[in-house]
């Protein structure tokens, strides 16, 4: 079983608006915030890149896996411009905690993506039972033998969320770790733009972002600073210890050691 090397989110820059938006996005999700810069690489790498096609897309190891070509209905969302979001948070982002995509549970492309990532990465289901799957950055040895070292922060994770079958809206989500307190994040994201997601508001505040690409809803989550930056979430210890590692069939891998 070969380890997945990269997951790349790619965005067109065919127009001036798209070029400007890509530059804004790159200011937050930069190579510095997406990479630990360690000598020993943790895989898969997550990347933000310019698109090779006309629509936003997601690539796994240079193979196009998802093309975002729908026309989402955004009437129910209060959107803050991408430029304004960057203006409010630039200089306060420590790293990208995780990037991910949300799909309907019956989306065949989502099921294909789940199979690809589960075969090529250390993929764990969220311990709460929700259909949220996290690919944890790992060494090649950890990919084959299991993760047992929780001494350092592991980032960025990749998340695949399967929504209810009645959901047709595709979402790209980016979760940023910041040096801001909860109050400081809330001040930057007041209602109606800033929203608290159910069960998660004690960790971060979210904003839905206006962008020029179409095909998906963009959500950014800004995580509050922590008194203990090395903890069960940032090291992925909680996901590994309490969650389940999944293989391509969505079941616990027979060769994955219990952690």
Span 69-79, pLDDT tens digits: 988 889 999 99
Residue 251 has pLDDT above 70, yes or no: no
Predicted confidence (pLDDT) per residue in 134-155, tens digit: 999 999 999 999 999 999 999 9
226-243 burial by CB neighbour count: b if 16+ within 10 A, else e?
A: eeeeeeebbbbbbbbeeb
pLDDT value of residue 166: 61
- 3-state DSSP assignment of residue 193: coil
Residue 58 has pLDDT above 60, yes or no: yes
| Token pair belonging to 221 | 């989550």
Predicted confidence (pLDDT) per residue in 233-242, tens digit: 999 999 999 9
Residue 212 has pLDDT above 90, yes or no: yes
- The DSSP annotation for 24-90 comes to HHHHHS-HHHH----SS--BSEEEEEE-SSSS-EEEETTEEEEE--B----TT--EEEHHHHHHHHT
Q: How confident is the model at residue 252 (pLDDT cuts 50, 70, 90)?
A: very low
Q: What whole-number percentage of the chain has pLDDT above 90?
A: 81
pLDDT value of residue 248: 66
pLDDT value of residue 247: 82
Residue 30 has pLDDT above 80, yes or no: yes
Residue 102 has pLDDT above 60, yes or no: yes
Tell me the mean pLDDT in the region 145-174: 91
The residue extents of the domains of the chain are 6-245
Tell me the mean pLDDT in the region 40-47: 92
Q: How confident is the model at residue 170 (pLDDT cuts 50, 70, 90)?
A: very high
pLDDT value of residue 38: 73
What CA–CA distance (Å, rounded) separates 236 from 155? 9
Instruction: Kindly give, in sequence order, each residue whose CB lies less than 8 Å from that of residue 42, ignoring residues fewer than 6 positions away.
Output: 36, 137, 138, 139, 154
pLDDT value of residue 258: 37
| Token pair belonging to 254 | 């027979």
Instruction: Kindly give, in sequence order, each residue whose CB lies less than 8 Å from that of residue 126, ignoring residues fewer than 6 positions away.
Output: 132, 133, 134, 239, 243
pLDDT value of residue 39: 66
Q: How confident is the model at residue 256 (pLDDT cuts 50, 70, 90)?
A: very low
Beta strands 244-245 and 171-178 are unpaired
Judging by beta carbons within 10 Å of its beta carbon (0-12, 13-18, 19+), is residue 49 exposed, middle or buried? middle
pTM exceeds 0.75, yes or no: yes
pLDDT value of residue 165: 64
Mean of pLDDT over the chain: 92
pLDDT value of residue 249: 58
Tell me the mean pLDDT in the region 98-122: 94
């Amino acid at each position: 079983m070969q380890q997945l090397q990269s997951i790349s989110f790619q965005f067109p820059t065919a127009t001036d608006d798209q070029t400007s938006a890509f530059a804004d996005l790159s200011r937050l999700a930069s190579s510095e915030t997406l990479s630990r810069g360690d000598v020993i690489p943790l895989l898969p790498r997550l990347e933000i890149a310019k698109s090779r096609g006309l629509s936003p897309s997601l690539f796994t190891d240079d193979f196009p896996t998802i093309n975002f070509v729908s026309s989402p209905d955004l009437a129910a969302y209060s959107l803050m411009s991408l430029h304004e979001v960057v203006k409010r948070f630039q200089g306060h982002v420590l790293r990208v905690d995780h990037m991910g995509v949300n799909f309907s549970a019956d989306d065949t492309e989502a099921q294909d993506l789940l199979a690809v990532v589960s075969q090529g990465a250390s993929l764990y289901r969220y311990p709460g039972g929700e259909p949220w799957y996290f690919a944890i950055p790992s060494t090649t040895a950890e990919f084959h033998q299991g993760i047992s070292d929780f001494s350092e922060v592991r980032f960025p994770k990749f998340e695949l969320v399967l929504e209810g079958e009645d959901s047709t809206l595709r979402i790209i989500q980016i979760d940023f770790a910041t040096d801001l307190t909860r109050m400081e994040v809330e001040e930057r994201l007041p209602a109606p733009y800033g929203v608290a997601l159910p069960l998660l508001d004690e960790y971060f505040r979210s904003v839905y972002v206006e962008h020029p690409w179409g095909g998906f809803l963009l959500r950014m989550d800004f995580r509050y600073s922590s008194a203990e930056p090395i903890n069960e979430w940032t090291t992925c210890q909680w996901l590994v210890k309490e969650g389940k590692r999944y293989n391509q069939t969505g079941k616990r891998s027979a060769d994955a050691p219990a952690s």
